[in-house]
Amino acid sequence: MINLKFLMKRLTNTNYRGFIESAKRVSKINKKWWPLVLADCLACTVKYGSGYVDYETFDMYDMTKEERANVLTISKNNGLVKRLNDLSYAHFFEDKAEFNLKFSKFLKREWLLLDGENFEAFENFLQGKEKIIAKPLDQCCGKGIDIYKTADYQPRELYDLLMKNSARLVEEVVVQNDIMNSLCKSSVNTVRLITILNGDEVAFAAGCFRMGKDGHVVDNFNSGGISSIFDMETGLVVTDGYDKDRNNYPKHPDTGTAINGFQIPMWSEIKEMVTEAAKVVPQIRYVGWDVAISKEHGPLLIEGNSYPGQDLSQYPKLNMGTYSVMLKAIK
């Protein structure tokens, strides 16, 4: 059932130009008159809580009623977050430094929060490191994340630069497992797992496998990365790769390694770690976890998200919808 509060807010703050431009783009694909496409898009907004982004992104214009009903739209996802997560505890996930503190057991790497007055600690942190990764505390989708070669800077110069850029969280660079590295060497490739906590039981509701391309240091889908879907029981990738521009990749464009049929290593260990992590903050039941596999330490957490995005595991050619799966996972 549509969230009426969401609908009223959407109608009040509607980006009408966005709806029209989206309808015109879709019209070029399905060859229907764009006002008819617009009417259908608006009908989906009312009935399924989608809006034009979901409508276009998930190809809802080319779906049956049953398929449309199974799309985890932005409104439905908001409803799950509100139902399952006590957002007074969301700061453990939204602030990257707080996350690192709370989930330190699962990080398996050094890190430091810069505060403008701990240059000496930063100097010590740099010892023996050829590279470091720096992150802003409150950004998402890979924004603001950069890798720095320590030999290119004097320690004070680098410290001041990071403070200026608000990249205050510095971490040891993860050296990924050789098998993961064979797929894409420029980024640390990650597994996204969405879990729902039911008491002491952790349900694995959805997920995707993400990798960088074109030499990018992040694997984030919204920053040019590739996504694919795996079998939840085995960790075997069962689709081709797919990017936001709707390009299809049976093999990785940088390395030629097959994506479809790729076996994610240490699958049971990944699920065991995430199962344990999902119980650390039980007030946040619905979480999206990003997991890397390091060469030395095996599976480790990159981050967790208390507002899991609903897009990656539902992109066309990857999955037709996850709403029914989410509801089934809730007890």
Does 185 lie in the same domain as 167?
no
Does 58 lie in the same domain as 31?
yes
Model confidence at 313, pLDDT cuts 50, 70, 90, reads: confident
pLDDT confidence of residue 194: 96
Burial of 58: CB neighbours in 10 Å, binned 0-12, 13-18, 19+: buried
Model confidence at 68, pLDDT cuts 50, 70, 90, reads: very high
Does 193 lie in the same domain as 140?
no
- Which range of residues forms the domain containing residue 53? 4-69
pTM of the model: 0.90
Does 324 lie in the same domain as 272?
yes
In a domain, 49, yes or no: yes
Does 142 lie in the same domain as 42?
no
- The answer to whether residues 148 and 131 touch, using CB atoms and an 8 Å cutoff, is yes
Number of domains in the chain: 3
pLDDT confidence of residue 113: 97
pLDDT confidence of residue 215: 72
Query: Residue 214 pLDDT more than 90?
Result: no
- The answer to whether residues 92 and 98 touch, using CB atoms and an 8 Å cutoff, is yes
Cα–Cα dist 191/236, whole Å: 12
In a domain, 77, yes or no: no
Model confidence at 109, pLDDT cuts 50, 70, 90, reads: very high
Mean pLDDT of the region 302-318: 82
> 156, 172, 188 — which closes off a domain?
172
